[in-house]
Amino acid sequence: MILPNVRASFGRAEAGALLALLSRGDERARRREEERLREEGIDAILDDPRTLNAILTSPGMAAAPARLVFYLLVRHALLEDGINNPVVADYLAALLLEFGRGMRAHGVTSDDERRYDYLVDIVEALESATGREAFLLRAHLGNFALWLSGLFPDWITARVERRGAPGIRYYEEMGATGYRLAAESADAENWGLDHLYLTFASNFPALRIALNRIADRHLFPTKGDPIDRLLRQIADRFRLDTEAQRN
């Protein structure tokens, strides 16, 4: 099960890495950042735009803890669109870290021998599932839809053009439904995930777009058709702006 536990795992090692990145060997700068860390806490440094820029441009980025890198990427991608809930960033970072291991994204749990390659496979499994199994499948439907549409939008676009496969909106609708159904389970309430799942269900398109930004800029900057990618980015920007005006 994916839990928003990345931020809570940060300790002295992550704080030290952040201080080193921001000070770049300047002792005065390090003392200044250490004072800020003591007075304002680590979130003040994590949310500083200079921190993300420092870790992306540092030659030692590869040595930085993966949990720290992914949290920063997600947190700042969300902040660009005014999504300021750190728990949302925490959960998304945990999702990327967990699903990024081997074929983990295709299983409901890390030790699940069943493989789900498509959303419809999960839906079919849900038809006979009950209790905790149903809860885990519903949550996985949301997580898998967000993983695919968030990090692999170019793959989805290519499948639409080659095979007439479902587009991004299909993944948004299925993912939001999965999270919404998962939120209704007693298991979600027991784990303290019910409100978070509802947040993900209500904001699925915005979260998907934030992950698209990470994929386009940092993970797969040279893959996909550049024209299709540009058109997607323009359409997503227009969509966010329109929804912001409505609210």
- 77-123, pLDDT tens digit by residue? 999 989 999 999 999 999 999 999 989 999 999 888 899 999 999 99
d(CA 223, CA 56): 20
Q: What is the DSSP letter of 74?
A: H
Instruction: Answer yes or no: is pLDDT of 58 > 90.
Output: no
d(CA 107, CA 122): 10
pLDDT at 246: 77
- Rounded to an integer, the average pLDDT of 63-90 is 93
DSSP code string of 151-163: H-HHHHHHHHHHH
Domain residue ranges in the chain: 1-99, 107-247
pLDDT at 38: 92
When mean pLDDT is compared across 23-27, 92-96, 175-179, the lowest value belongs to 23-27
Instruction: Answer yes or no: is pLDDT of 28 > 80.
Output: yes
CA angle 192, 196, 197 (to 5 degrees): 105
pLDDT at 239: 84
Instruction: Answer yes or no: is pLDDT of 247 > 70.
Output: no
Instruction: Answer yes or no: is pLDDT of 34 > 90.
Output: yes
Tens of pLDDT, residues 200-242: 999 999 999 999 999 999 988 887 788 888 888 888 888 888 8
When mean pLDDT is compared across 16-25, 56-65, 94-103, 120-129, the lowest value belongs to 56-65
CB under 8 Å to 47, separation ≥6 — which residues? 75, 76, 79
> What pTM did the predictor assign?
0.91
| Residues 209 and 240 sit within 8 Å (Cβ to Cβ) | yes
CB under 8 Å to 162, separation ≥6 — which residues? none
Tens of pLDDT, residues 118-172: 999 999 999 999 999 999 999 999 999 999 999 999 999 889 888 788 999 999 9
